[in-house]
Homo-oligomer: A and B are copies of this chain.
Amino acid sequence: MTSTDLSRHLSSFLPTDQVSTAEDVLDAHASDKWHASALPDVVVFAHTTEDVAKTVAFAHQHGIPVYTRAAGTGHIAGCVPVHGGILISTEPMNEILEISPSDGTAVVQPGVITGELQQAVREHGWYYPPDPASLKECTLGGNVATNAGGPRCLKYGVTKQYILGLTVVLADGQVLKTGGRCHKNSTGFDLTSLMVGSEGMLGIITEITVRLIPHPQTRAMLGASFPDFAAAAAAVQAILDAGTLPSALEITDGFTMNAARDYLGADKLPPGDAYLMIEIDGNTETVARELPTLRDFLLEHQALRIDEAPNEDACERIWQLRRDFSYSLKHTGLTKLNEDIVVPRSKLVALVEFAEQLQQDTGIPVACFGHAGDGNIHTNIMVADYDDPEIKAKADAALDRLFTWVIENDGVISGEHGIGLAKKPWITQALGETSMEVHRQIKQTLDPKNILNPGKFLD
């Protein structure tokens, strides 16, 4: 069906201003943060579950591919319409429908910005913990599609652990309700969790009921430098062994610290070849009492210098340093291929040693930083120009070595971002043939015409 025909058909059951084939609109919906791009034939701006249901029913009837996209802040090309067809934008579905402290729940549309939900529930004294780095621009719909994480998932768990119920448009346009607004549920198969992280391949999420918890009264942080990565990793284990579960435990390697010295000025960073950020939260007096104890503990565990952020405002200074680490890597002028791999926590040091070896062997810089407590270390392969075929080939070979090492070491190739196109070449190696076959069986039964996000990791 031509783009014009498609648009005409869709406009027969959707308001005309919700259907677009304008070049700039198609262009704006062709990619996410990854380096892949493909134009949809038409963009549908969904305002309601019914808009989505009608569109999908039509697509199902005619065997037309359907892609879903909200803010497009993903890192895996999950929303890229590689086979053209219809791109449904859930960006207009950006209403927080309900906040209920008395039930510990909120109900949102998929286009709601994660940070805005956090802010809104906080005004009631409640907390939605998942905190992807992009929380000021990413949406709940995208978070659900990829099972997004973030630093505070160490203590509080990932997106999945906060999703109580979903409204999902299935591949034939039927509307499925999963779960509900109860905090506990052992009623039937867990279709909610099956949908979370399914990257738009099993259904399109149009409403989300999330679990809220009481907001901790305050937070505080320590930023500590260490002589080397191994010492910082040992401190991570010692903190946990002592019965403390911080709300975040972020680690940074020497490569990144040196990049930050170049970017911010050497005197702006403490001595040492690794940096640890520890955030604790809880009742105000408790946090005030626990922070100095934790500081002393770190000094006993090889910390070189410690920056103390005794309250929530001061924490911002240390989180800013975390962001500056990111900017420092950008400032190198290189392109960051940011891989959200996870290793069992005992292999943190082995991972960094492997990264150093990889760098030596390939000449490609590798920077590691991220969520030390749960082993989710963002491993950044730093390349001059990923569009240059020769550089790309070398970088892809390095990625292949990285993912192979991760899989051999009981790690996983994605902890937060998902698979999409970015990690498609490694999915069978990661999951194994039996799991892939079960994936295909479930996909086939729920989407027999393969219209939902085709061309991704199952094709």
Interface positions of A (Cβ within 8 A of B): 100-105, 125, 146-149, 153, 157-158, 160-161, 170, 174-178, 180-191, 193-194, 196-198, 202, 213-217, 237, 240-245, 282-283, 285-286, 289-290, 340, 342-346, 371, 374-376, 410-419, 423, 427, 430-432, 434-435, 438-439, 441-442, 444-446, 457
Closest chain B residue to A244, Cβ basis: B214
Contacts of A161 in B (CB 8 A): 157, 161
Measured CB to CB, the closest approach of chain B to A214, in angstroms, equals: 5
Contacts of A416 in B (CB 8 A): 184, 186
A to B CB contacts below 8 Å, 6 in the list: A157-B161, A177-B435, A184-B342, A214-B241, A214-B245, A286-B289
Cβ-neighbour of A197 out of B189, B285, B376, B435 (below 8 A)? B189
CA distance A54 to B290 in the complex (A): 54
Contacts of A104 in B (CB 8 A): 240, 345
Q: B190 and A147: CB pair below 8 A?
A: yes
Contacts of A180 in B (CB 8 A): 410-412
Q: A187 and B283: CB pair below 8 A?
A: no
How many chain copies? Answer: 2
Q: A419 and B158: CB pair below 8 A?
A: no
A sample of 7 more A-B contacts (CB under 8 A), given A105-B344, A181-B410, is A176-B434, A178-B435, A182-B415, A187-B412, A189-B442, A190-B197, A193-B193
Cβ-neighbour of A194 out of B153, B193, B346 (below 8 A)? B193
Closest chain B residue to A426, Cβ basis: B187
Closest chain B residue to A215, Cβ basis: B243
CA distance A188 to B78 in the complex (A): 12
Q: A434 and B290: CB pair below 8 A?
A: no
Q: A186 and B289: CB pair below 8 A?
A: no
Which of A147, A186, A282 has the largest count of B CB atoms less than 10 A from its CB?
Answer: A186
Cβ-neighbour of A438 out of B146, B191, B242, B413 (below 8 A)? B191
Q: B245 and A213: CB pair below 8 A?
A: yes
Q: B186 and A283: CB pair below 8 A?
A: no
Q: B213 and A427: CB pair below 8 A?
A: no
Q: B214 and A414: CB pair below 8 A?
A: no
Contacts of A376 in B (CB 8 A): 182-184
Please report whether the interface of chain A is mostly helix, strand, loop or mixed according to DSSP: loop
Q: B375 and A182: CB pair below 8 A?
A: yes
Measured CB to CB, the closest approach of chain B to A200, in angstroms, equals: 12
Cβ-neighbour of A214 out of B215, B243, B434 (below 8 A)? B243
CA distance A202 to B194 in the complex (A): 14
Contacts of A147 in B (CB 8 A): 186, 190
Closest chain B residue to A202, Cβ basis: B189
Measured CB to CB, the closest approach of chain B to A282, in angstroms, equals: 8
Closest chain B residue to A100, Cβ basis: B346
Q: Assuming A189-B202, A193-B160, A441-B446, is B240 touching A184 (CB within 8 A)?
A: no
Q: Assuming A176-B435, A193-B193, is B241 touching A414 (CB within 8 A)?
A: no
Which of A416, A423, A432, A434 has the largest count of B CB atoms less than 10 A from its CB?
Answer: A434
Q: B101 and A435: CB pair below 8 A?
A: no
Q: A183 and B434: CB pair below 8 A?
A: no
Q: B214 and A125: CB pair below 8 A?
A: no
Contacts of A412 in B (CB 8 A): 180, 182, 184-187
Closest chain B residue to A286, Cβ basis: B286
Closest chain B residue to A410, Cβ basis: B181
Q: Assuming A100-B346, A178-B435, A194-B193, is B170 touching A414 (CB within 8 A)?
A: no
CA distance A308 to B243 in the complex (A): 24
Contacts of A160 in B (CB 8 A): 190, 193
Q: A146 and B186: CB pair below 8 A?
A: yes
Q: Assuming A183-B376, A196-B190, A197-B186, is B125 touching A241 (CB within 8 A)?
A: yes
Contacts of A441 in B (CB 8 A): 445-446
Counting from the closest, the 3 A-B pairs by CB-CB distance are A193-B193, A184-B415, A102-B346
Contacts of A202 in B (CB 8 A): 189
